[in-house]
Amino acid sequence: MNYADIKQRATDKVESVEGSGRPHIYVGSATCGRAAGANPVLEAIKSALARHKLDAVITQVGCIGLCYAEPLMDMKKSGAPRICYANVTPESACQLIEDYLVNDNPRPDLAMGTLGEGSIDGIPRLFDQPMLKPQVRIALRNCGIIDPEDIDQYIAGGGYSGLERALGMTQQEVIDELKKSGLRGRGGAGFPTGMKWEFCYKSPGTVKYLICNADEGDPGAFMDRSLLEGDPHAVLEGMLIGAYAIGATDGYLYVRAEYPLAIKHLVQALKQMEDYGLIGDSIMGSTLSFHVKIKEGAGAFVCGEETAMMASIEGKRGMPRSRPPFPAQSGLWGKPTNINNVETWANVSAIMQRSADWYAGYGTEKSKGTKTFALAGKINRTGLIEVPMGITLQEIVYDIGGGIPGDKKFKAVQTGGPSGGCLPASLLNLPVDYESLAQAGSIMGSGGMVVIDEDTCIVDMARYFLTFTQAESCGKCVPCRLGTKQMLDMLQDICRGKGKPEDIDLLLHLSKQIKAGSLCALGGTAPNPVLTTLKYFRDEYEAHIREKRCPALACPELTSYYILPDKCQGCGICLRNCPTEAIAGDKRMVHVIDQEKCIRCGTCLDVCPQRFGAVVKVSGEEIEAPKEPVPVTAAKAKEER
Partner 1 sequence: MIPLTTDVDVKQELEEIFARYHGRKDELIPVLQDIQARLGYLPTTAMSEVARYLKIPESAVFGVSTFYAQFKFFPTGRNKVRLCRGTACHVRGAPRILEEVEKQLGIKPGETTEDLEYSLETIACFGSCALAPVMVVNDDVYGRMTPKKVAQVLGRDKQGD
Closest CB 369 distance from partner 1, rounded Å: 23
Determine, following the binding rule CB under 8 A, whether residue 569 of this chain makes contact with partner 1.
no
Between 604 and 630, name the residue whose CB sits nearer to partner 1: 604
Determine, following the binding rule CB under 8 A, whether residue 43 of this chain makes contact with partner 1.
no
For partner 1, the binding residue among 275, 281, 314, 489 (CB under 8 A) is 314
CB-neighbour burial class of residue 355 (10 A; exposed 0-12, middle 13-18, buried 19+): middle
How many Cβ atoms sit within 10 Å of the Cβ of residue 160? Answer: 27
CB 378, CB 452: distance < 8 Å? yes
CA distance 485 to 28: 42
Determine, following the binding rule CB under 8 A, whether residue 383 of this chain makes contact with partner 1.
yes
Closest CB 185 distance from partner 1, rounded Å: 20
Q: What interhelical angle do 503-516 and 478-495 show, nearest 10?
A: 160
Closest CB 241 distance from partner 1, rounded Å: 26
Sheet of strand 410-415, all strands in order from the earlier edge strand to the far edge: 383-388, 370-377, 448-453, 410-415, 421-424
Determine, following the binding rule CB under 8 A, whether residue 217 of this chain makes contact with partner 1.
yes
Determine, following the binding rule CB under 8 A, whether residue 313 of this chain makes contact with partner 1.
yes
Determine, following the binding rule CB under 8 A, whether residue 130 of this chain makes contact with partner 1.
no
For partner 1, the binding residue among 10, 25, 34, 514 (CB under 8 A) is 34
Please list every residue from 239 through 268 that binds partner 1, using CB under 8 A: 257-260
CA dist list (Å): 551 to 377, 407, 495, 571, 593: 19, 18, 11, 30, 22
Stretch that binds partner 1, among 30-38, 132-140, 495-503, 626-634 (CB under 8 A): 30-38
Closest CB 626 distance from partner 1, rounded Å: 29
Which candidate, 91, 77, 95, 97, places its Cα nearest to that of 18?
77
Determine, following the binding rule CB under 8 A, whether residue 382 of this chain makes contact with partner 1.
yes
Between 45 and 332, name the residue whose CB sits nearer to partner 1: 332
Convert 190-254 into a string of H (helix), E (strand) and C (coil): CCEHHHHHHHHHHCCCCCCEEEEEECCCCCCCCHHHHHHHHCHHHHHHHHHHHHHHHCCCEEEEE
Query: What binding mask, one character per residue, do residues 594-613 give for partner 1 by CB under 8 A, x or -?
Result: -------xx-----------
Which candidate, 162, 129, 112, places its Cα nearest to that of 284?
162
Between 513 and 577, name the residue whose CB sits nearer to partner 1: 577
Between 194 and 445, name the residue whose CB sits nearer to partner 1: 445
Between 184 and 381, name the residue whose CB sits nearer to partner 1: 381
For partner 1, the binding residue among 27, 375, 568, 573 (CB under 8 A) is 375
Core vs surface per residue 539-561: b (16+ CB within 10 A) or e: ebbebbbeebbbbbbbbbebbbb
Please list every residue from 474 through 493 that binds partner 1, using CB under 8 A: 474
CA distance 576 to 572: 6
Determine, following the binding rule CB under 8 A, whether residue 386 of this chain makes contact with partner 1.
no
Determine, following the binding rule CB under 8 A, whether residue 225 of this chain makes contact with partner 1.
yes
CA distance 410 to 185: 30
Closest CB 125 distance from partner 1, rounded Å: 23
Determine, following the binding rule CB under 8 A, whether residue 300 of this chain makes contact with partner 1.
yes
CB 422, CB 532: distance < 8 Å? yes
Determine, following the binding rule CB under 8 A, whether residue 318 of this chain makes contact with partner 1.
yes
Closest CB 349 distance from partner 1, rounded Å: 22
Determine, following the binding rule CB under 8 A, whether residue 342 of this chain makes contact with partner 1.
no
Between 190 and 297, name the residue whose CB sits nearer to partner 1: 297
Closest CB 176 distance from partner 1, rounded Å: 35
Closest CB 476 distance from partner 1, rounded Å: 11
CA dist list (Å): 495 to 35, 304, 489, 543, 551: 33, 30, 10, 10, 11
Between 193 and 414, name the residue whose CB sits nearer to partner 1: 414
**Beta strand extents in 107-203 (DSSP E only):** 111-115
Determine, following the binding rule CB under 8 A, whether residue 278 of this chain makes contact with partner 1.
no
Stretch that binds partner 1, among 51-59, 93-101, 317-325, 485-493 (CB under 8 A): 317-325
Stretch that binds partner 1, among 81-89, 374-382, 386-394, 542-550 (CB under 8 A): 374-382
Residue 308's DSSP bridge partners are none
Closest CB 555 distance from partner 1, rounded Å: 11
CA dist list (Å): 52 to 45, 88, 97, 176, 415: 11, 19, 9, 57, 49
For partner 1, the binding residue among 108, 205, 299, 613 (CB under 8 A) is 299
Which candidate, 440, 444, 449, 436, places its Cα nearest to that of 410?
449
CA distance 160 to 349: 8
Between 202 and 316, name the residue whose CB sits nearer to partner 1: 316
Determine, following the binding rule CB under 8 A, whether residue 346 of this chain makes contact with partner 1.
no
Determine, following the binding rule CB under 8 A, whether residue 218 of this chain makes contact with partner 1.
yes
Closest CB 261 distance from partner 1, rounded Å: 10
Determine, following the binding rule CB under 8 A, whether residue 203 of this chain makes contact with partner 1.
no
Question: How many residues contact partner 1, by CB under 8 A?
Answer: 58
Core vs surface per residue 460-499: b (16+ CB within 10 A) or e: bbbbbbbebbbebbbebbebbbebbebbbebbbbbbebeb
Please list every residue from 417 through 476 that binds partner 1, using CB under 8 A: 417, 448, 450, 452, 456, 461, 464-465, 468, 472, 474
Q: Which DSSP symbol is given to 409?
A: P
- Residue 69: alpha-carbon gap to chain centroid: 16
Q: Are strands 448-453 and 583-584 parallel, antiparallel or unpaired?
A: unpaired
Q: What interhelical angle do 538-546 and 503-516 show, nearest 10?
A: 130
Between 222 and 562, name the residue whose CB sits nearer to partner 1: 222
Which candidate, 429, 452, 427, places its Cα nearest to that of 442?
427
Q: Which DSSP symbol is given to 367?
A: S
Determine, following the binding rule CB under 8 A, whether residue 98 of this chain makes contact with partner 1.
no
Task: Give me the residues that bind partner 1 (CB under 8 A), please.
Answer: 31-32, 34-36, 67-68, 70, 216-222, 225, 257-260, 295-301, 312-319, 374-378, 382-384, 414, 417, 448, 450, 452, 456, 461, 464-465, 468, 472, 474, 579, 601-602
